[in-house]
Amino acid sequence: MTKDEIAREIRRRLRARTSLHTYALSIDIPTVAAQAMLPDEELLGPASGLMAQHHAAILSVLERTANRNMGRCMIFAPPGAAKSLYTSVLLPTWEMGRRPGSRIMLVSYAGSLAERQARRAMQVVEQENYRLLWDESPTLVRDAAKEWTLSNKSEMLSMGLLGGLTGNRASGAIIDDPVAGREEADSEDIRQKTRDAYQDDLLSRLLPGAWIAFIMTRWHEDDLAGAILPEDYDGRSGMVRCRDGLDWEILNIQAKCERADDPLGRQLGEYLWTEFYPPQHWRLYENAQGPEAARAWASLYQQRPSPQGSGRFNREMFNLYSPKELPQHLAYVGASDFAVTEGRNDFTEHGLFGVDSSGNLWARDWWSKQSNTGEGIDAMLNMVQRWKTPMWFNEGGVIDKATRPAINQQMRERRIYTDLRSLPSMLDKVAKCSAFQARAAAGCVYFPREAPWTERVIQQLMSLPAGRHDDAADVCGLIGRAVDQFPLARVPSITRKEGIKPFTKEWLEYQAENERPAVRYR
């Protein structure tokens, strides 16, 4: 090798110690077909650009998590996306090489699965390319799959999450698929045991500042990830403050993009990794028939672990619109579902819809929060003021009795008024939304494509009556039941001018210049 080649090779090895992307391209990855080895990034560009886009995204999240004190991340991706190889094989071997004395704990729903990944990690550390990256040139000195050690004192322990975690404390923990499948995910007993094992066993074995990398497909909204994520988690990626009080970095990769804020920057409807999996591969699962197949697509492939629901609502019922598609003339109405029962984790929800001259419903604004009644009323009146809403609907019975006096008082104090009407309380969640469902089935309901709350509202409707939350669905139910009580939007009236003959060119030009604004309720 020339001096320049030697210098460039040294720089590549140094980059591999700090960049998980360079490291991933510098070794043979078990079960992966032959790849471009030892990339020359000085000629070809950054290593992250030499791999599949979602692989680069996964490695970026893992690298940031391992470098952050008490780093936490969750990676949701469909089967076949290679999330386990990068997280359970590459990440621990990288950590064990760059930080001698590391203690990595790898757990899964079964000890056999964790041990299989541990064997693949051992295949990595036995490569010459691996040893050459580190000053210590670490070698394998103990090769039991359940617990193995390198000569630089780094250790890896693998076992089942429910098998009772034993052994030394860990500087990093990887949770790879804590749920075996649909049957286990649907068992409240197993879900609770999994949550207890994580809380009581795994967390208690972490060293100060230890990181956690969590990878799985979502089978159930109340799975281990669901128990950590915030109640209002809607599938977004990025840093999320969770119920344990910590900031977790979430990477939610869907087989088919359904979100405008897709972490890979894909267009809506675009499939994942099409250079490897053609669209026909994903459509095979997307178009499979039957409720179980639909649930598998939603949970395993789309990371939407909603209950099956009643089947009254489905995603195809709802139209998504962009701002330029919004009708010019709308009449606005709102509805609220106040959380007034103590001891429950219900949300107060306010939804505002516009009704066009044809009777179509256009969702325009939404507010949701676990709040006290006073804060919820303030938010409602803010929406009334913002949209100049003449009519608002509330559920009767206990909710109306608990909130109406306070609403009336705040309207007087703030001098913001709306015609507050109550509708009879109903216990049957599906029946409550029947009128809204009929309009949705007829193609008359529109949600804003890029609004952050659209997916959550639609998801609650599809999950009825078995979803964890149904407060947003209750608001839609009120709108559907009340739609006959408010008028349609009115089109502008014809202006008149003496001396101009109607429908002549002069008359039409005058109308265009002097058209009065529509009578709008805002």
Of the candidates 61, 121, 127, the one whose C-alpha atom is nearest the C-alpha of residue 96 is 121
Distance CA 396, CA 375 (A): 20
Phi and psi for 112 in degrees, rounded to 5? Answer: -65, -40
Tokens of 9: 């090779």
Please report the pLDDT score of residue 345 as a whole number.
Answer: 62
Other beta carbons within 10 Å of 354? 24
Outline where DSSP puts E strands in 292-360.
Answer: 319-321, 331-337, 348-355
What is the dotted CATH code of the domain comprising 315-485? 3.30.420.240
Outline where DSSP puts E strands in 242-298.
Answer: 247-252
Domain coordinates of the chain in residue numbers? 3-252, 315-485
Other beta carbons within 10 Å of 14? 12
Range 3-252 classified under CATH 3.40.5: no
Phi and psi for 92 in degrees, rounded to 5? Answer: -65, -40
Transcribe 35-51 into DSSP letters: ---S--HHHH--GGGGS
Eight-class DSSP state of 256: B
Phi and psi for 209 in degrees, rounded to 5? Answer: 80, 5
Please report the pLDDT score of residue 36 as a whole number.
Answer: 46
**Residue 489 half-sphere exposure toward CB, CA atoms < 13 A:** 25
Please report the pLDDT score of residue 109 as a whole number.
Answer: 85
Q: How far is CA 260 from the centre of its chain?
A: 12
Structural contact between residues 32 and 43, judged by C-beta atoms closer than 8 angstroms: no
Please report the pLDDT score of residue 306 as a whole number.
Answer: 63
Please report the pLDDT score of residue 521 as a whole number.
Answer: 29
The count of residues in the chain is: 522
For 82-110, b where at least 16 C-beta lie within 10 A, e where not — what string?
Answer: bbbbbbbbbbbbbbbbbbeebbbbbbbbb
Distance CA 429, CA 426 (A): 7
Start-to-end CA distance of the chain, whole Å, equals 75
Residue type, 288: A
Distance CA 421, CA 408 (A): 12
Please report the pLDDT score of residue 48 as a whole number.
Answer: 86
Please report the pLDDT score of residue 517 as a whole number.
Answer: 36
pTM recorded for the entire structure = 0.64
Q: What is the pLDDT along the chain (522 residues), one digit of tens a residue?
A: 788 888 888 998 999 999 999 999 999 887 665 454 566 777 778 888 889 999 999 999 999 999 999 999 999 999 999 999 999 999 999 999 999 999 999 999 887 888 899 999 999 999 999 999 999 999 998 777 788 999 999 999 998 888 777 667 899 999 998 887 777 877 778 888 889 999 988 999 999 999 999 998 888 878 899 899 998 888 999 999 999 999 999 999 999 999 999 999 999 999 999 999 999 999 999 998 876 787 788 888 999 876 555 567 888 899 999 999 999 889 999 999 998 765 456 799 999 999 998 889 999 999 999 989 999 999 999 999 999 999 999 999 989 999 999 999 999 999 999 999 999 988 777 788 999 999 999 999 999 999 999 999 998 898 876 567 789 999 999 999 998 887 666 555 545 556 677 667 776 666 566 543 333 322
Asked, as a colleague might, if the bond just before 465 is cis with ω within 30 of 0, I would say yes
